[in-house]
Structure 1
Amino acid sequence: MAPGSKFKNVELILPCEWKECCFVGKCMEEFCNHIAEHLDEYLQHPLETAEQYWCWWRSCEFEAKDPRELVTHVNFHSYYTKLKFIGCQLWALHQDLPMCLKSSCSWHQLPKTSEEFVCHWENCDVTFNNPVWFYQHVANHAYATEEEIIADQKKAVYCHWKDCLGVFKGKHKLWDHLRTHTQERVVACPTCGGMFSNNTKFFDHTKRQVSEGNRMFVCQNCQKHFADERLLRDHMRRHVNHVTCALCDMVCTSVSSLKAHTRFRHCNERPFHCHLCDSSFKNAYDLHKHVETHNDSDAYSCDVEGCGFISRTLQTLKRHYKRVHVELNKPSK
């Protein structure tokens, strides 16, 4: 289930904390537009010198030297407000969860952000100053990605993020994976403000804070106590020694990584077959790159007059056409 999908049709409660403002938004678009009005008013009539810009979010002491940096920071407050609302909703749905015992002193201490969020999807590089719109934009890439046949008529989608080799069974898996590139978080603790990449990590955050007497699962190596069996298993992995490959000097950090190493380096099995020639490969990514070589002598070129774009794959050509000749030529509203 997609993070936050339980609350898809739930009306949000998003309180604005800019100075003494009492506005409460009911959806992200409304809330972000409201925050933009505060920023516009502030930047047109700053209360300080042009060399410094203060965040007027309550209890926040952030200071920026560049107005763009301030805009990105304040927009992160709006995104953060949504994450804390989701955290409250999860606590209401799971009343057996222990309460967070950490201090709330870091409630408004946001992570350091750059001046903008940059999409590193292939041929994109669009920038945003609002994480809400940035994460939605990246999700659109995931769901617009075309499935490709990799082997035995099985389909997969490729991650086209810069320097990524990821291959996934479906678009939703790709979307989940893209969070590792964007560092998107989907829920925040409404007590201490900690942010988490999925609901399970949020649940673990609360369970780690139960009293010692309620931690029934004990590590036999160090005698630490845990609230449930899964937290104990996660901890136990730290006691596992590094695993050495019996066929070479490779040292792996886990049994699963050793299996992957053995399969790739020491097995001759090549289950991924090219449908255009007799070549076969050990993984889907190598097959994908090989298939592209069949287009070396017959590259795909854009037929729009005056455009000299050439690509090695039809998929890349289609993306180019949509972005350059369709999206950019849409009439502005």
Structure 2
Amino acid sequence: WTRVMKTLLVCSGLINIYQHLLLHSVEKPFKCSVCSKSFTQNLNRHLILHSVEKPFNCSVCNKSFSQKAHLNTHLLVHSNEKPFECSICNMSFSQKGSLNRHLLLHNTEKPFKCSVCNKSFSQKSYLNGHLSVHSNEKPFKCPVCNNEFARKSSLNDHLRHLRVHSNEKPFKCSICNKAFSQKSYLNGHLTVHSSEKPFKCPVCNNEFAHYTQHMRAFSRMSHLNNHLRVHSNEKPFKCSICNKAFSQKSHLNGHLTVHSSEKPFKCPVCNNEFALIFFDSFITCDGTMSGLYAGC
């Protein structure tokens, strides 16, 4: 039927409609003989990727490109420059494609719902990435340092920043001399020395100055999102032993020590050991928290 339909459409000058209809089907009849990738339409355009010379080489990671413009776009990944800004929430991205994907988050339609916590997403891939929050599964491992990640995008973001593995920290704070591997981390740190708190909670109007550096892809919203769970009472992190739920993963990790004999927090005054940080216990000893440290 497909061949007959295509013939009729070609004869009637409606070939573009045929090509468009293929987008709505799962049929991908055109297979690349080089990489085995399949397409709904003619793959001549794709084959250019395998044949075109790529004379423009990235001096950082040696990736090659067929056009200088593509190389220039790629270099933004290494410089951490993010010229593409979302007009809705002001988040910035190094590539326009990343911005376009981000804009989908602001769509009101979110048909993909998590069966565990009922959170909704605009794309199925976002839902799949979110599900790792509930399973604690981290299938993506860094080949350099063996750090594990729940999402491939997190691993890719980790790998982009080569200074993570070299421990190179060229960006130094002019006030306290603390050094950072990326300029964005330094910028975030500088708010510690000022009274600036640019991130406001839309529910209770609490303001935030500084956000965790390891949340690279969404560093500007990470703590705010964690804080919002206080108001929504959302607790997506569940203990696999007693089913107690927590709003943040760090709280779950702390709770897990209750089920083990591990007591990593030692009082520097009386040497008592604790599974969790109980502030009152330490303040009772010397009136401060200055000596708190992880014991053996």
TM-score by length of 2: 0.28
Which structure would you say has the larger RCO, counting Cα contacts within 8 Å and 6 or more residues apart?
Answer: 1
